[in-house]
Amino acid sequence: MNVLILGAGQLARMMSLAGAPLNLHISAFDVNSGNTVHPLTREVLGQGLASAIERADVITAEFEHIAPDILEQCQASGKFLPGAEAILTGGDRRIEKSVLDKAGVNNAPYNVINQREDYDAAISKLGLPLILKSALDGYDGKGQWRIKSTEDVEATWQSVEAFLADADDRQCVIAETFIPFDREVSLIGVRGANGDTAMYPLTENIHTDGILSVSVAADDNHALQQQAEQMFKAVADALNYVGVLAIEFFDVDGTLMVNEIAPRVHNSGHWTQQGAWVCQFENHLRAVCGLPLGDTSRVAPTAMINMVGHVNVPQAIMSGCHLHWYDKAPRPGRKIGHINVTAASREALAEQLTTLSQALDSTEFPAVKEAAERLR
Ligand code: ATP
Ligand code: MG
Ligand code: MG
């Protein structure tokens, strides 16, 4: 089967690695160059979207910020899963929020801001503190503003106004109530075309400067898992979703609130490569190719540590870890790989992370020590 992935980054690369044993032939469409490339070597395989669509049996995506005309072309082929509606939902916070409301899942109260009146209305309706997010193109915490107190109101508006003036007509800003969460967790699940679902255990996520640093899958909180699974089903059913869908949550004193969704394989699911029977990349491919879903059970407590920017990884740590490089040149704030660590127990994982935090430079890997402490 020929699978075309929109996007040619590390997620397409890892799907291609997971698809090879299933005899799936994966190519990646680089939306920037308009070329179809090999997801590992980046060798150019063809030019233009039309011929790539023609050759594909199935089309899917590794990211949600895709131009509407590309989505339309893929949708028209009848081969696109999870499809244009799901990708648009993940790529536009305005649509995303309305889908979350329609699905009846708990999420932060919000207001859409196009002009000053909306901004003032958001502040009086939602109160302070507030978090503002660009509706389109946001990732890794980019395109966000925080209003902590009334002193910030004017300066933030200046910045938002300038941003909107520069942006294209489809752009706007979403104001959300600031949620004082205890921690952030995410659920990665997969839904087949027949409506079957399979879900991985919740992962706890630690961010640094808006970028995911560490994800840990070692929790056995059944009540929380049930809440998350019920919300996953509600959202996935509302979108008639096919493939892997990620949901980020705030845990507020044992009650989950959806932060955002990602209609694709997700960074907080990379641990499944070593930590679960069938990883998220394989499960996404299984779902979109109409194959039976794979077992999402956890094999062992596992942590995933992102490598961001220029990092030094001592060779010695390889004996106890799996390294996944993306073959990307390091740039500040750029994800260039990750490390998966598995252990026999939660305690053993804490031990291993402590050892790692001593071996790795804490400025390059800012959250490893904290991840170890949270496990204790
Ligand atoms: P990602 O790279 O995960 O796609 P993003 O740029 O889409 O990130 P969000 O996940 O919406 O952004 O927000 C980034 C971070 O900001 C969250 O992980 C969380 O720590 C914080 N945050 C977002 N929304 C809220 C909120 N309503 N209340 C409190 N903190 C928030
Ligand atoms: Mg996001
Ligand atoms: Mg997020």
pLDDT tens column, 9-24: 999 999 999 999 999 9
pTM for the full predicted model = 0.97
Distance 217 CA to ligand 1 centre (A): 20
Asked if residue 176 has its Cβ within 6 Å of ligand 1, the reply is yes
Rg of the chain (C-alpha set): 20
> From residue 53, how far is each of 5, 26, 77 by CA, in Å?
10, 13, 7
Give the residue-averaged pLDDT of 109-119.
97
Return the ligand number nearest the Cα of 212: 1
> From residue 335, how far is each of 9, 202, 242, 327 by CA, in Å?
10, 22, 27, 10
CA angle (53, 22, 39) in 5-degree steps:
50
Distance 148 CA to ligand 2 centre (A): 21
Asked if residue 217 has its Cβ within 6 Å of ligand 1, the reply is no
**Does a cis peptide bond (omega within 30 degrees of 0) precede residue 180?**
no
> From residue 321, how far is each of 273, 324, 370 by CA, in Å?
12, 10, 18
* Percent of the chain residues past pLDDT 90, beyond the cut: 97
Residue 132 has pLDDT above 90, yes or no: yes
Burial 297-327 (b: 16+ CB within 10 A, else e): ebebbbbbbbbbeebebeeebeeebbebebe
Give the residue-averaged pLDDT of 356-376.
97
Give the residue-averaged pLDDT of 88-101.
98
pLDDT of amino acid 12? 98
Residue 374 has pLDDT above 90, yes or no: yes
3-state SS assignment for residue 266? coil
Give the residue-averaged pLDDT of 84-101.
98
Asked if residue 210 has its Cβ within 6 Å of ligand 1, the reply is yes
Give the residue-averaged pLDDT of 178-190.
98
Domains of the chain (ranges, CATH numbers): 2-80 (3.40.50.20), 109-177 (3.30.1490.20), 183-375 (3.30.470.20)
Pick from 245, 259, 268 the residue to mutate for probing ligand 1's pocket: most ligand atoms within 8 Å of its CB: 259
ipTM above 0.95, yes or no: yes
pLDDT of amino acid 188? 98
pLDDT of amino acid 320? 85
The reply to whether 72 sits in an annotated binding site is no
Model confidence at 318, pLDDT cuts 50, 70, 90, reads confident
Average pLDDT, the chain: 97
Model confidence at 319, pLDDT cuts 50, 70, 90, reads confident
